[in-house]
Structure 1
Amino acid sequence: MAKVFLHVGAPKTGTSMVQELLYNNRKALADRGILYPGRRRDAHFMAALDLLERTWGGLEVDAPGSWDYLVGKAQKWNGTVIISHEVFAGATEEQAKRAVNSLAGSDVHIVYSARDLSRQVPAEWQEQVKHRKKHKYDAFLKDLRRDEPQSYSSRWFWAVQNWPDVLRRWGSEVPDENVHLVTVPPPGAPRALLLDRLMTLWGIESEWLTEESDRANVSLGAVETTVIRKLNKRNPPTTYEGPYYREWVRELLAHRTLAGRDGAHRLILPPRHRDWARDLTSEWIDELRGHAYDVRGDLDELRVVEDQGEFVDPDQVGPGEQLRVALDVIDTLLAELVHERERGAGAAREAEQRGEARVQEVVAAHARRRRIRRFAGRVRRKLRF
């Protein structure tokens, strides 16, 4: 019987790095009885889209059957199986039940990693902006605090970040002791601590992970996020399709150019919203203590981080600061344009050289055929005498 760990999020808790690490070392892990199933790097993402029946910028066309594929692999495995993607956190209770029940006969465990709201709220707004959203930070915060949020972004936030609710939905079909809450350590803790907690839970020794992960979802600063948001306003989805946005805006500009930029103002929770976050966190922690969940870490690590530094309002940053970021964007795009032009010219030269070589081959072939015909003609003439 397989022991199946369903790692269902939350977003912005190191999940991308963990998934990359598991994928890169899947062969070594399988040799030790731990299966991270999937024929492609995004197999678990596709399975999440399939299970939740979600659209995702056109990527969902490859999703049908992805969940059942992972289930089939898990049911055939005699050992530990890890299925991991943060999108799973947004499942309804019915979808979560379907997922757990489809693994009937396995020892199913739910794993959820949680981080304090003071870091998750700004991280989620930033992530929404990188997925083409264009609402301001203050508008996002105000809607987030409504009794019934109006925007999709706010509803999605609560679907994946409300720790007690996520665990209730996913834990309804398994005993409390099979529900594992892994807390994200506070700022200043050892960088490997979260990973150590997860790997210990899954029975993975660090020396087995010889292939490292280079995935680091580095944050954008307040000004940098605003520049991307304004690009989104200027360029609606009809301007260019999802694949182009993912490659040029999210990957090239946001991740490779603006993320971790020197001197960036860190995006934090505004001081006027911290009492709200503290009170909500206390309610959630009290609710979690009423369950027999297995907590890896400390629930107090989920409390609001008090010392976050100076708040810089991304909705109020000056044009000068935005201009400096915009110039970096222009530099990146020009460099990429030159690179593409050089790459195109190189490909054209290679094609031309291949064409010349082909012409020479054809000429040589014709010459060989002419020689053969002349030789055959001489032979026929000799044979007539």
Structure 2
Amino acid sequence: MTRRAFLHIGLPKTATTYLQTILWGQRDAVAEQGLLLPGRERRDHLWVSRVVREEPDRKRRPEREHEAMDRVLADVAAWDGDVLVSHEFFAAASTGQAAAFAARLAATGREGHVIVTAREPLGLFTASWQESLKNRSTTPLADYGRSESTSPQDIWDWRTLDLSLVLERWLAVVPGERTHVLPLDRSADREEIWRRFAGVVGIDPTRVDVSGSFPNESMGVVEAELLRRVNGHLGEFRSAFDRGVWIRTFLADERLVTRGGERFWPYPDQVADCRARGERAVALLAERDVDLVGDPGWLLVPETLEQRRTPDTVSDTEVADAAAEVIAGLLGDVRALKAEAKQAGATEQPGLPSRVVSRLRGRRSPSR
């Protein structure tokens, strides 16, 4: 029986976090069905993607990150069943980089497969702009996505968001019959994409507990503009840890997303660009012999869109009101946690004790 190496390369913002949460949360249950997630931890796959894409600043990163590729390949070589490596940043790899990594997987005696989750470009474009804000970007939506980068380091760019661009690079490495494209059906329940994904990698989706999984939620238009302005004052928050823990999780996901807020669209010329990219992707899928697992119509921007605001309509008053509510919630959190630390006998020092900071990172803000 042929052993397979599945590489799930994204696209970003196409239920990748949702699927990865299921897979890593139920890693043992998945392995019992013959599918291994190689490596010691979930971040190993992120770190491998950095090696593959030859990130220039990797030399300054921790030793455990440098060893991730060796750990993953060692596990792949030792496993007797199929393996799955999953991270959306692989979508940015060049054809040469993709070929080099595919060769390393093939050297373990496996048949290489690529899985691409995808969605209609308009929703993807809007979600990716929000994701760029969670990574400390200050770029207004009107200026976002105006080019196609040639650099494998640029993630929040049409380089990784345009399905046809990604497929053109990877189909030069992996043949169409082993390239599986899974469009998202935005009208279906969220487990529908998990069931199709599980079918591709050959496991029974009903034998895996998905109750601990969660999707990435979006901010409203006011909250997104607030975060964009705050980012301009976060000059010291440069590390991946700072972006991931404090900007993305603590502020964006736990304080801004939870406010709800109005959904929004990009500008008319950007909508037209998204519509054209969706049509090009569907045409490419019709031309190339890929394994399409789903309806290609799900990749098209609807002809008629509901009315929504654009970010330029957000007033300073709306931003100030949202900021006041968020600051009040943060102040309450800090007061409660400092009191809790004091009751626990923590030694008072300037700032918060590390144990309290850890609790603070995981605390949800009060509801609106």
TM-score (norm 2): 0.85
For the 8 Å contact 2:142–2:266, the answer to whether it is kept is no
Instruction: Kindly state the Cα deviation for residue 115 of structure 1 after the two structures are TM-superposed.
Output: 0.8
Q: Find the residue that maps to 1:5 and give its secondary structure.
A: strand
Encode CA deviations 1:324-379: one digit per residue, 9 max, x unaligned.
2212320231122123312431343599xxxxxxxxxxxxxxxxxxxxxxxxxxxx
Residue of structure 2 in register with 1:103 after alignment: 105
| CA RMSD, 1 decimal | 2.7
Residue of structure 2 in register with 1:277 after alignment: 274
Structure 1 residues 83 and 323, CA, compared in 2 at 3 Å: closer, same or farther?
Answer: same
| Alpha-carbon distance between aligned partners in 2 of 1:315 and 1:136, rounded to the nearest angstrom | 9
Whether 1:181 and 2:185 are equivalent positions in the alignment is no
For the 8 Å contact 2:181–2:291, the answer to whether it is kept is yes
Instruction: Kindly state the Cα deviation for residue 154 of structure 1 after the two structures are TM-superposed.
Output: 7.5
Q: Find the residue that maps to 1:309 and give its secondary structure.
A: coil
Residue of structure 1 in register with 2:30 after alignment: 29
Instruction: Kindly state the Cα deviation for residue 241 of structure 1 after the two structures are TM-superposed.
Output: 5.0
Structure 1 residues 211 and 287, CA, compared in 2 at 3 Å: closer, same or farther?
Answer: closer
Instruction: Kindly state the Cα deviation for residue 265 of structure 1 after the two structures are TM-superposed.
Output: 1.1
Q: How does 1:194-273 map to 2 (within 5 A)?
A: 194-210=193-209, 212-236=211-235, 238=236, 241-262=239-260, 264-273=261-270
For the 8 Å contact 1:34–1:81, the answer to whether it is kept is yes
Structure 1 residues 138 and 53, CA, compared in 2 at 3 Å: closer, same or farther?
Answer: same
Instruction: Kindly state the Cα deviation for residue 76 of structure 1 after the two structures are TM-superposed.
Output: 1.8
Whether 1:170 and 2:167 are equivalent positions in the alignment is no
Instruction: Kindly state the Cα deviation for residue 245 of structure 1 after the two structures are TM-superposed.
Output: 4.1
Q: Find the residue that maps to 2:215 and give its secondary structure.
A: coil
Instruction: Kindly state the Cα deviation for residue 288 of structure 1 after the two structures are TM-superposed.
Output: 2.1
Q: Find the residue that maps to 2:288 and give its secondary structure.
A: coil
| Alpha-carbon distance between aligned partners in 1 of 2:69 and 2:287, rounded to the nearest angstrom | 32
Residue of structure 2 in register with 1:115 after alignment: 119
TM-score (norm 1): 0.82
Structure 1 residues 75 and 56, CA, compared in 2 at 3 Å: closer, same or farther?
Answer: same
| Alpha-carbon distance between aligned partners in 2 of 1:41 and 1:98, rounded to the nearest angstrom | 22
- With 328-337 and 88-97 compared, the bigger mean Cα shift is at 328-337
Encode CA deviations 1:200-234: one digit per residue, 9 max, x unaligned.
11122123212633432100111111101100112
Instruction: Kindly state the Cα deviation for residue 58 of structure 1 after the two structures are TM-superposed.
Output: 10
Structure 1 residues 54 and 340, CA, compared in 2 at 3 Å: closer, same or farther?
Answer: farther
Structure of higher CA gyration radius? 1
- With 121-130 and 204-213 compared, the bigger mean Cα shift is at 204-213
| Alpha-carbon distance between aligned partners in 2 of 1:71 and 1:42, rounded to the nearest angstrom | 15
- Long gaps (5+) in structure 1: 352-385
Encode CA deviations 1:48-106: one digit per residue, 9 max, x unaligned.
12221226899943422312321221122121211101011111111100111001220
Identity of aligned residues (%): 28
Encode CA deviations 1:119-178: one digit per residue, 9 max, x unaligned.
01111111111100101111115x24xxx6699998741221121221232232332100
Residue of structure 2 in register with 1:129 after alignment: 133
Whether 1:318 and 2:294 are equivalent positions in the alignment is no
Structure 1 residues 310 and 39, CA, compared in 2 at 3 Å: closer, same or farther?
Answer: same
